[in-house]
Amino acid sequence: MVVSAEMEKRSFIRMMVDSPVQVRFANIESYGRCHDLSASGMGIMFKETQLQLGDQVTLELKPGRPGVLALQAQGRVVHLQPDPEGILVGVAFSKVD
């Protein structure tokens, strides 16, 4: 089996998720969609954003299914990637509740 260098760097499995995410930073509240989720971070898709590399954020993932608890976390923006749908923002978790 061939394993790419990208896969070898990952310590946690990444799950594709499509749920709303509330993001708070610098007295700003913004909303995006969770693109992917792992134990160490989250990819969030925004149509546009004021986030910058290194920004500290508070996140709340709001699942669309009844009985599933929201995920709350704090983290740091580690990448911004232009995408045909907007901007994909990578957040590394520092604390998960």
Domain ranges for the chain, please list them: 12-96
C-alpha closest to that of 41 among 17, 63, 65:
17
Nearest to 41 by CA among 17, 9, 19, 73: 73
The predicted structure's pLDDT at residue 11: 56
CATH code of 12-96, in short, is: 2.40.10.220
- DSSP symbols for 4-65: -HHHHH-SS--EEEEEEEEEEETTEEEEEEEEEE-SSEEEEEESS----TT-EEEEEE--SS
pLDDT tens across 4-58, in order?
Answer: 344 445 555 666 677 899 999 999 999 999 999 888 999 999 999 999 999 999 9
- Amino acid 45 reads M
Position 83 pLDDT exceeds 80? yes
